[in-house]
Amino acid sequence: MLTGDIEEGPAFSQLVTARHVIEKTGQIAIDGKVLLRANTLDGDSRLVKTEPKDWTFHLSDAAVDAAVLPWLPSREKFLFKAIPEKMVATDEVLQANHVGAGDEIFLTGLFASHAGSVSNLPIIRIGNIALMPEVRVKVREFGMIDAYLVEMRSIGGHSGSPVFVHIGGTR
């Protein structure tokens, strides 16, 4: 996920994904690199090499499964869309829009076994919020975390994909 207000002249631009994806990729890669495959304007793609140390994790809470990489791809070379910072769901935005269990959500990601042979072929999965993070949930890798439990009607492999909630016209 690329975030930042790049349409309005970026103060920053960054890739955001799941921490465990970056950590595991860096561990299993022969050269220790984390590769990003970015679509190019000519319909092809290009591999961009990063190091696990280039990614930033939450500084004070190791249970936050997020990784951030400062990166602004060239609009003359790459095909991409950014998610403006104003679309990021803060606690205030969720409360103001009464987001909760049952609300429709969707994510964009890659179907791991059919990601595209030449370039990335993004897919969309839909689902619903099953449980808001009212109490912390224990997970194997991170211990107790605040978790949004969702039912996506999908197979695994979408860690780090952006999830959007459909706010709708009537709430």
Cα–Cα distance between 117 and 125 in angstroms, integer?
21
Q: CATH number of the domain that 8 lies in?
A: 2.40.10.10
pLDDT at 158: 82
pLDDT in tens, 117-158: 888 888 899 999 999 988 888 888 888 888 888 898 767 778
Query: Per-residue pLDDT for 1 more than 80?
Result: no
Q: Does residue 55 sit in the same domain as residue 126?
A: no
pLDDT at 110: 84
pLDDT at 6: 47
Provide, rounded to the nearest whole percent, the portion of the chain with pLDDT above 70: 91
Name the more confident of 79 and 159. Answer: 79
Contact criterion met (CB below 8 Å) for 50 and 33: yes
Provide, rounded to the nearest whole percent, the portion of the chain with pLDDT above 90: 40
Please state, in angstroms and as integers, the Cα–Cα distance from residue 83 to each residue in 44, 46, 53, 108, following that order. 22, 21, 24, 12
Q: Does residue 118 sit in the same domain as residue 61?
A: no
Contact criterion met (CB below 8 Å) for 4 and 12: yes
Q: Which amino acid is at 128?
A: N
**pLDDT grade, residue 87 (50/70/90)?**
confident
* Site of tokens 């994904």: 17
Q: Does residue 34 sit in the same domain as residue 96?
A: no
Cα–Cα distance between 129 and 83 in angstroms, integer?
21
Cα R_g (the chain), whole angstroms: 17
Q: Does residue 56 sit in the same domain as residue 91?
A: no
Q: Does residue 113 sit in the same domain as residue 59?
A: no
* pTM reported for the whole predicted model: 0.80
